[in-house]
Structure 1
């Protein structure tokens, strides 16, 4: 069941829209501009790394930082952690 849920979440990350990224950033009071959200969405669509594997997540955010900025990558990481907390799966990010 855990594996299936992780696959679902990973697919959802690839399907995020700019509007959704901006809504989540507003909801969690994390600063993300529209252009940053566009870059994030583009990067997530191409992402092949497993966000639940510590090494995969590190590679994913490192690549995102190279495409945007370290601050944007940190902001997206914060969003991921807050969403995981909200849905009770934060332990999957350990």
Structure 2
């Protein structure tokens, strides 16, 4: 991934709002409720996200799966894959 694009994606993920996540989910046909979006945002805000760090991305997805449900984890993974 182009370093500039990667930096932009990281910035967006680190400053994402609930409404923006819901908008992105609609754009990429990912079903997510407002409550789920709020939980995902809370998880993302726990640490500075680096989209290129595969271990971190997997750890975040695992946390999403544990704190919400595995289905949502898969949907967020699809969304992150689209952003890449």
Q: What SS class does the counterpart of residue 63 from structure 2 fall into?
A: helix
User: How many residue pairs were aligned?
Assistant: 83
Stretches of 4+ aligned residues off by more than 4 angstroms:
none
The normalised TM-score by structure 1 is 0.75
Whole-Å separation in 1 of the counterparts to 2:47 and 2:66:
13
TM-score for both structures, normalised by structure 2: 0.82
Task: Tell me the C-alpha RMSD between the 2 structures.
Answer: 1.8
**2:17 aligned partner:** 17
Query: Rg larger in 1 or in 2?
Result: 1
Higher normalized contact order (CA 8 Å, seq sep 6+, divided by chain length): 2
* Structure 1 gap segments, 5+ residues each: 85-94
Once residues 44 and 15 of structure 1 are traced to their aligned partners in structure 2, the CA distance between those partners, rounded to angstroms, is: 9
Long gaps (5+) in structure 2:
none
